[in-house]
A and B are shown apart, each in its own frame.
Chain A
């Protein structure tokens, strides 16, 4: 019975990896840096999901710890790029 669950989880992990590969198209095409970072962020989240699915599918609970660390790094990447490409001079949206 759990074999069925294991197989399903592993299949889900495989499909998720394929979807992550599809998103790589946006990383390559862009056109702006921010487009690429958004796409890399999505790929990162799919990797977190894959790690969670694999940890269950392969009965390796320690993969969950790796997933937590990966989610953290993924977040830091977005923050750093967001800050590095922020142009403080270019902001003028406050109207009232």
Chain B
């Protein structure tokens, strides 16, 4: 393929960005103080990380069938992750899980 000279660095770049945002998501889920703010990490950083990782795979293959599958996968993750977070935080709020606000103890949610 003509483009393969450019493809390899792009694949590596996308995979690296994907890993970076997964790292942000993991750190966020561990560090943030309550279930609502942890959901932020789960929906955003993780979704973006997944987008880049899957894009790296799609770029690597470059064939129509695989690119379509990857696009379906990305669209699906982008649509379902916010919905899942919404379902969970809604349940948490209905059960009265308190919202952490500035001034509460920082690791209050840990135990």
Contacts and interface: CB of A to CB of B under 8 A. Distances in A.
- Do A and B form a real pair? yes
Interface of A: 1-2, 4-5, 8-9, 12, 15-16, 19-20, 22-23, 25-26, 29, 31-32, 34-35, 37-39, 41-42, 45-46, 48-49, 52-53, 55-56, 61, 64-65, 67-68, 71-72, 74-75, 78-79, 81-88, 90-91, 93
A71 B46 contact: no
Contact of A86 (B8, B39, B91): B91
Interface string B45-56: 011011001101
Interface residues of B, number: 60
Nearest to A77: B84
Interface string B90-111: 1111111100000000000111
A77 to B, nearest CB: 8
Contact of A85 (B22, B26, B65, B95): B95
B51 to A, nearest CB: 9
A49 B76 CA distance: 13
Contact of A56 (B4, B22, B61): B61
Interface of B: 4-5, 7-8, 11-12, 15-16, 18-19, 22-23, 25-26, 29-30, 35, 38-39, 41-42, 46-47, 49-50, 53-54, 56-57, 60-61, 63, 65-66, 69-70, 72-73, 76-77, 80-81, 83-97, 109-111
B85 to A, nearest CB: 7
A67 B87 contact: no
Given A29-B110, A38-B38, A52-B57, A68 B90 contact: no
